[in-house]
Amino acid sequence: MRFTHETLGQRVVFASGDAPAAVTAEVAALGATRVMLIAAPAEAALADRVGADLPVVVRHDEVVMHVPVEVAQRARQAAAEGSVDALVCVGGGSTTGLAKAVAMTTGVPIVAVPTTYAGSEATNVWGLTDGEIKTTGVDTRVLPRSVVYDASLMLSLPVEMSVASGLNALAHCVDSMWGPRVDPIDQALAGEGIRGLAAGLPAVASDPAGLEGREQTLYGAYLAAVAFASAGSGIHHKICHVLGGMFDLPHAQTHAVVLPHVLAFNAPFAPEAERRIAQAFASPTANEGLAALRRALGAPRALDDYGMPKDGIRRAVAPILAAVPGNNPAPLTEENLTALLRAAWEGSEPA
């Protein structure tokens, strides 16, 4: 057994029902006295609660999906004008992504308070979109210094969005099984992440007001993100980043649609990873386990439903081929990638 595993340095606080006090403590531990509070208008009420006892000097609410570069620049300017020494972001992946964009150029530390299961808060990965091109990278400055997980903040997240966001987290687990830097620790974390998500998401769907399902889903989403940060971005995420940036598709739903097609594509060429995924689902095969979960959740099915044009299949092939890591388990060609994208666009069964 020969591998090198790097663990990212981050404090993680699970504090159901106690986010305001936990966030205040994390900001105080940083010695920060001038906080920039980032939250989209839809999260304003939650941000009010979380930031009630913080020394907020800048309140910023321009949050846009996929973090366009011009939006990032305005946020950076607001941070500079306010001489902020800490960022507190309350929201999903787009909000966390905006905080990362500010941290990347300023070095200001982030305390992240997620309200979805996106997982961006536990990675050192950033993403910015310029026109139709979404660029991602890795930078230690963008890793939030602390994360406060409060499952009670998820109770207002509708079931439909919870399902999409949770399946996005599940995609982190699956991609981590064969990412470009994958090691056995990543696979162990990803397997436990799948188990947590497979237990938590049906509970959220059946009892949206229940805290236990939300906690299990958060737990799984966190493990998924930690595994993904180490293993690196595989074929699934390269596909979704290209499609999301090119056609402005909703992030979580895009991942939820593409996931079963990527799993079916790679599983025959990665038997050990397939066995681990199946075991985490407690299913005979990985594909059957994911399919059963998707049926139980009424998961998103077709990219066509979210605004991707049919001719987008042809347009996306070349940039995806250029982005996918060379060590992907299944050989990728223009022909089989086109077939995968067509099936995801139509919402047909994975081949």
For residue 282, give the CATH number of its domain.
Answer: 1.20.1090.10
Tens of pLDDT, residue by residue over 292-317, are: 999 999 999 999 999 999 999 999 99
Q: With 90 as the cut, is the pLDDT of residue 133 above it? A: no
d(CA 68, CA 15): 32
Tally of domains within the chain:
2
Query: For residue 137, what pLDDT band results from cuts at 50, 70 and 90?
Result: very high
Residue 5 lies in a domain: no
Task: Count Cα atoms within 13 angstroms, Cβ side, for 256.
Answer: 26
Residue 1 lies in a domain: no
Contact 195, 261 (CB under 8 A): no
Q: With 90 as the cut, is the pLDDT of residue 132 above it? A: no
Which of 98, 126, 154 corresponds to the end of one domain?
154
d(CA 331, CA 328): 7
The burial of 293, by beta-carbon neighbours within 10 Å (0-12 exposed, 13-18 middle, 19 or more buried), is given as buried
Residue 4 lies in a domain: no
What are the φ and ψ backbone dihedral angles of 214, each rounded to 5 degrees? -65, -40
> Amino acid identity, residue 50?
V
Residues 6+ apart with CB under 8 A from 179: 186, 228, 230, 231, 232, 233, 234, 325
96 in the same domain as 16: yes
Which of 154, 178, 211 corresponds to the end of one domain?
154
d(CA 47, CA 113): 9
Tens of pLDDT, residue by residue over 319-333, are: 999 999 999 999 999
149 in the same domain as 208: no
Tens of pLDDT, residue by residue over 38-80, are: 999 999 999 999 999 999 999 999 999 999 999 999 999 999 9
95 in the same domain as 227: no
Residue 40 lies in a domain: yes
Q: With 90 as the cut, is the pLDDT of residue 236 above it? A: yes
213 in the same domain as 198: yes
Average pLDDT, the chain: 96
Residue 24 lies in a domain: yes
The token duo for 250 is: 């909703």
Q: With 90 as the cut, is the pLDDT of residue 178 above it? A: yes
Which of 154, 175, 202 corresponds to the end of one domain?
154
132 in the same domain as 168: no
Please report, for residues 55, 176, 221, 301, 347, the alpha-carbon distance to residue 261 in angstroms, rounded to integers and kept in the order given.
Answer: 47, 16, 21, 10, 10
232 in the same domain as 169: yes
Residue 6 lies in a domain: no
Residue 3 lies in a domain: no
208 in the same domain as 145: no
Q: With 90 as the cut, is the pLDDT of residue 94 above it? A: yes
Query: For residue 134, what pLDDT band results from cuts at 50, 70 and 90?
Result: confident
Q: Specify the CATH number for the domain of residue 52.
A: 3.40.50.1970
3-state secondary structure the chain: CCCCCCCCCCEEEECCCCHHHHHHHHHHHHCCCCEEEECCHHHHHHHHHHCCCCCEEEEECCCCCCCEHHHHHHHHHHHHHCCCCEEEEEECHHHHHHHHHHHHHHCCCEEEEECCCCCHHHCCEEEEEECCEEEEEECHHHCCCEEEECHHHHCCCCHHHHHHHHHHHHHHHHHHCCCCCCCHHHHHHHHHHHHHHHHHHHHHHHCCCCHHHHHHHHHHHHHHHHHHHHHCCCHHHHHHHHHHHHHCCCHHHHHHHHHHHHHHHHHHHCHHHHHHHHHHHCCCCHHHHHHHHHHHHCCCCCHHHHCCCCCHHHHHHHHHHHHCCCCCCCCCCHHHHHHHHHHHHHCCCCC
306 in the same domain as 212: yes
178 in the same domain as 93: no
pTM for this entry:
0.91
Residue 198 lies in a domain: yes
144 in the same domain as 220: no
At which residue do the structure tokens 């402005």 appear? 248
d(CA 71, CA 90): 17
326 in the same domain as 183: yes
Structural domain harbouring 288: 159-346
134 in the same domain as 27: yes
At which residue do the structure tokens 């979210």 appear? 306
* Cα dihedral value 236, 312, 101, 223, nearest 10: -20
Q: What is the pLDDT of residue 6?
A: 87
Contact 237, 328 (CB under 8 A): no
